[in-house]
Amino acid sequence: EHTMANAYLQGVEISASQFLDIFHHYDNDGNGYIEGKELQNFIKELQQARKQAGLVSSYELTDQMRAFVEEYEKNADGKIDIIELVQILPTEENFLLFFRQQLKSCTEFMEAWRNYDADHSGYIEADELKNFLRDLLQRAKKPYDEKKLEEYTLTTLKIFDSNNDGKLCLSEMARLLPDQENFLLKFQGVKMARKEFNKIFELYDKDRNGYMDENELDALLKGLCEKNKKVSKIPIYKKAIMALSDGGKLYRTELALVLCEDM
């Protein structure tokens, strides 16, 4: 494993699943971050590996790697998660960043979610994820074979499935979005228990037809903002949330994906 990590750190392109192995190799305590001592080891080995490869000066690091090393050498309590690591290390055509680039906005992301959670379970299971990735690859006219697709699917699942239940809930999958687009993070402060959510849903579903239209959703989001000053920007996400709707009807189960605490 170590020689693989070494080759990798020298800037040799590696496959998606090797990338995952390397991440786990440095994330000793398995908490999903490389931090503290783990991060020091990682940076030390990164530099040693470049040296052995004959890339002696730190200028031989790619710009991204150099910025990264400078930032974390000074920062004792620094920690990086797997998504940040993907951005600096040369994985094969950088498959995660590729998927990220395909989903330009949170609205597009929500439309995709709505489309691929075919059974409306509120989760994307492995086969649904595979369809999603296949379509992204085809849309970008990227060549792939079934074996590669299988590897991308399993790797993506392992990376994002933070509670290890073998499927992705909306907030896990949303880590694919760049932070500024990941509007679900903005909802962390307002997520509520199912019981409270049901109360609020019923309060704003004025005509009692079991779904929200755009005006009802607007009122509900504004109400949440008044209650919670930290989340003043929420109404701008109305369009993204409505992307979960069924032809303008936003049913309770869909809105719960955004507003309820993850089960």
What are the start-end ranges of the E strands in 11-151?
33-35, 79-81, 123-125
* 142-146, 189-193, 207-211: range with highest mean pLDDT: 207-211
The β-bridge partners of 169 are: 123
15 with 82, same domain: the answer is: yes
pLDDT band at 66, cuts 50/70/90? Answer: low
Of the three residues 179, 195, 219, the one that is the final residue of a domain is 179
Rounded mean pLDDT of the chain?
Answer: 78
Residues 14 and 84 in one domain: yes
Asked if residue 171 and residue 201 are part of one domain, the reply reads no
* Residue 200 shares a structural domain with residue 175: no
Q: Place 89 in a pLDDT band, splitting at 50, 70 and 90.
A: low
Residue 139 included in any domain: yes
So what's the pLDDT on residue 251? Answer: 93
Is a pLDDT exceeding 60 seen at residue 11? no
Same domain membership, residue 48 and residue 11: yes
Q: Could you tell me if 156 and 232 lie in one domain?
A: no
Instruction: Say if 197 falls within a structural domain.
Output: yes
Confidence band of 59 (pLDDT split at 50, 70, 90)? very low
Closest CA to 253 of 133, 113, 105, 85: 113
Query: Beta strand 211-212 with 250-251: parallel, antiparallel or unpaired?
Result: antiparallel
Q: Domain total for the chain?
A: 3
Q: What is the CATH number of the domain that holds 174?
A: 1.10.238.10
Instruction: Assess if residue 108 is contained within a domain.
Output: no
pLDDT given for residue 60 in this prediction: 52
Q: Within a domain: residue 236?
A: yes
In this structure, the answer to whether residues 170 and 195 fall within a common structural domain is no
| Listed residues 179, 211, 230: the one ending a domain | 179
pLDDT band at 55, cuts 50/70/90?
low
* Residues 39 and 99 both lie in one domain: no
Would you say residue 238 lies in a domain? yes
Single residue among 179, 198, 219 that ends a domain in this structure? 179
pLDDT at residue 62, as a whole number: 61
Q: Is the dihedral of CA 80, 136, 12, 154 positive or negative?
A: positive
Range picked from 9-18, 131-140, 190-199, 229-238 for highest mean pLDDT: 190-199
Q: What are phi and psi of 239, to 5 degrees?
A: -60, -40
* Angle of helix 2-9 versus helix 36-52 axis, rounded to 10: 70
Handedness of CA 15, 16, 17, 21 (dihedral sign): positive
pLDDT at 50: 62
Q: Residues 237-259: pLDDT tens digits? A: 888 899 899 889 999 999 998 89
Report the pLDDT value the prediction gives residue 58, as an integer from 0 to 100: 45
pLDDT in tens, 223-233: 888 887 766 67
Asked, for residue 154, whether it belongs to a domain, the answer is yes
Please give the average per-residue pLDDT across 176-180, as a whole number. 72
How far apart (Å, rounded) are the C-alpha atoms in residues 6 and 53? 10
193 shares its domain with 217: yes
Q: Are residues 9 and 79 in the same domain?
A: yes
Find the domain containing 137 and state its range: 95-103+113-179
* pLDDT bucket at 4, cuts 50 / 70 / 90: low
Co-location of 84 and 16 in the same domain: yes
pLDDT at res. 87: 65
Q: Is residue 137 part of a domain?
A: yes
The pLDDT value recorded for residue 214 is: 92
* Domain presence at residue 13: yes
Residues 192 and 169 in one domain: no
Whether this prediction's pTM lies above 0.75 is answered by no
